[in-house]
Chains A and B, each alone.
Chain A
Amino acid sequence: MSLIDFIISLSLISISAGLLGSLIGLGGGVIIVPVLTLIYHVDIRLAIGASILSVIATSSGAAVTYVREKLTNLRAGMFLEIATTIGAITGAYLTTIIASRSLFVLFAIILAYSALTILRRRKDPEILLKSDDKLANYLDLHGSYYDENEKRTVKYKVQNTKLGLGLMYVAGIVSALLGVGSGALKVPAMDAAMHMPMKASAATSDFMIGVTAAASAGAYFVRGEINPLIAGPVVIGVLIGAIAGSRILNKISSNLIKFIFVAVLVVVAIEMLQRGLS
């Protein structure tokens, strides 16, 4: 394959990563890393470097719309970023001592976990009208947004802030280790643990994953793991996908999105596991 074919095909595939990532609050990394390693046979570390940037592209591209529509809870997102950024620093330095092979296995486990999390969600956790969480009340982390699907304003209170912080720290570590946005951990931390509505959790996760990824991107850049000929086309494709995805989120059935995404996660998890164990 010639270089120009590589760049054009990679950009096109990356559009789907940005689209899926922006819709569910996950970074595009879940798609980008396997595509680069399995289809294009790129070294895992360069794949992770490009994927870290795809996460920032998904986040910033989607958040332009989500923040404008106030789907993102800015206050809760910024508060939880304290934990994800510290986690990202921890993870960035763990990558230098963990071998590539165990990264594949770890990645497979994370993907399987993501799939299970999405599959098991039959019913959204209860939306709270009152909160006795002192930290959330002090910082006023509660929120509201206009739901275009239900044609009403949804008001909600945030609970279990400390548990949320702990989960976000773990999400930060995973994010830096694998070059994924770890929205798979962030979304449940917000909607299951902290009782935020699903849409607000996904939009806030999309908002946050950019900062988590930026915290470790500097280290990847200096180590020379961000090859512009790989990361450049990925970023262009992901930006197009994320901007489109953030505009159609309210217009399509979320069950269909869940189904496609779980299927993708399962297939890729199996492939990654095979590669890690062979």
Chain B
Amino acid sequence: MTRYDDKQKHFYALISLVLQIGVIASAVLIVIGLVLYFSQARSGDYHQFVRPDYSFPHSFGSIKSGLHRSGGLAYITAGLLVLILTPILRVATSILLFISKKDKPMAYVTISVLIILIGSFLLGYFVK
């Protein structure tokens, strides 16, 4: 971290900003989703909504169609996906920052982290 002290502040501020944007976008989508969901008059005990067999969108197709129908659950899920993507976006941003500082070793380190992250997503998607 002592390598580029003069530009360090800028570096840290940018990573912080990426996290801030992700967090705000996620929270806004979740709140919109909850408001939409309750505008459709829900009643009854909560247990039926949290049982393992209760169905909710958990594929990209169902989220997309849910967003078109202004479905509350799809908005909440989209917000949760934005939250999951925030750390990944942060890793991607740091790759660009390390490359721009010509810091090769750390660029390779962060590229490895991104590859492992993408690998884990693909594994999760195809191996169920």
The reply to whether A215 and B23 contact each other, CB–CB distance below 8 Å, is no
Question: B80 an interface residue at 8 Å Cβ cutoff?
Answer: yes
State the interface size on chain A (CB cutoff 8 A): 70
Q: A140-B2, A239-B27 are in contact. Are A214 and B45 (CB under 8 A)?
A: no
Chain A residue numbers with a CB within 8 Å of B19 are 60, 63-64, 67
Contact yes or no, B3 A228, CB < 8 A:
no
Q: Which residues of B in the span 19-46 have a Cβ within 8 Å of any Cβ on A? A: 19-20, 22-23, 26-27, 30-31, 33-34, 37-38, 42-46
A239 to chain B, nearest CB (A): 6
Min Cβ gap A247→B in Å is 13
Q: Tell whether A74 pairs with B46 under 8 Å between CB atoms, given A67-B19, A92-B120.
A: no
Q: Is there contact, CB below 8 Å, between A232 and B33?
A: yes
CB distance from B121 to the nearest CB of A (A): 4
Is B34 in contact with A45, judged by CB distance below 8 angstroms?
A: no
- Interface of chain B, helix or strand or loop or mixed? helix
B10-22 vs A, CB cutoff 8 Å, 1 = contact: the mask equals: 0111011001101
A215 to B91, CA, bound (A): 12
The answer on a CB contact under 8 Å between A59 and B87 is: yes
- Chain A residues positioned under 8 Å from B86 (CB to CB): 56, 60, 210, 214
Chain B residues within 8 Å of A229, by CB: 37, 49-50, 56, 73, 76
Number of A-B contacts (CB under 8 A): 204
From residue B125, how far is it (CB to closest CB) to chain A in Å?
5
Which residues of the other chain, A, contact B80 by a CB distance below 8 angstroms?
A: 53, 221, 226, 228, 231-232, 235
Determine if B56 and A144 form an interchain contact, defined as CB atoms under 8 angstroms apart.
no
Q: List the A side residues contacting B27 at CB < 8 Å.
A: 235-236, 239
Known A-B contacts A211-B87, A235-B83; A219 and B120 likewise in contact (beta carbons under 8 Å)? yes
Instruction: Give the interface SS of chain A, mostly helix, strand, loop or mixed.
Output: helix
Mask of A1-37 contacts with B, CB within 8 angstroms, 1/0 = 1111111000000000000000000000000000000
Nearest chain B CB to A40 CB, angstrom units: 7
Tell me which of A79-87, A183-191, A249-257 binds B: A79-87
> Which residues of the partner chain B approach A65 to less than 8 Å between Cβ atoms?
16
Name A1's contact: one of B20, B45, B76, B124 (CB within 8 Å): B45
Decide yes or no: A78 and B50 within 8 Å by CB, A63-B16, A138-B105, A214-B87 being known contacts: no
How far is B59's CA from A68's CA once the two chains are assembled, in angstroms? 35
Find B121's partner among A40, A61, A218, A235 (CB 8 Å cutoff): A218
- A contact residues around B42 at 8 Å (CB): 3-4
Tell me whether A75 and B1 are in contact (CB under 8 A).
Answer: yes
7 contacts between A and B (CB under 8 A): A2-B44, A2-B45, A3-B42, A56-B86, A144-B2, A217-B84, A222-B125
Query: A89: CB under 8 A from chain B?
Result: yes
Given A67-B16, A68-B13, A226-B58, CB of A221 within 8 Å of CB of B30: no
A245 at the interface (CB under 8 A from B): no
What's the nearest-Cβ distance from chain A to residue B52, in Å? 5
What string of 1s and 0s marks CB contacts (under 8 Å) between B86-126 and chain A?
11101100100000000001100110110011011101110
User: Which residues of chain B have C-beta atoms less than 8 A from A236's C-beta?
Assistant: 27, 30-31
CB atoms of B84 and A214 under 8 A apart: yes
A70 B12 Cβ-Cβ under 8 A: yes
Inter-chain contact B12/A227, CB cutoff 8 Å: no
Chain A residue at minimum C-beta to C-beta distance from B109: A79
Across the interface, do B1 and A73 meet the contact criterion of CB distance under 8 Å? yes
Determine the distance from Cα of A222 to Cα of B57 in the docked complex, in whole angstroms: 10
A230 at interface by CB-CB < 8 Å:
yes
CB distance from B21 to the nearest CB of A (A): 10
Indicate which residue in B11, B22, B57 contacts A74 across the interface (CB closer than 8 Å). Answer: B11
Known: A67-B15, A138-B105, A236-B27. A228 touches B56 (CB 8 A): yes
Question: Does B65 count as interface, using CB distance less than 8 angstroms?
Answer: no
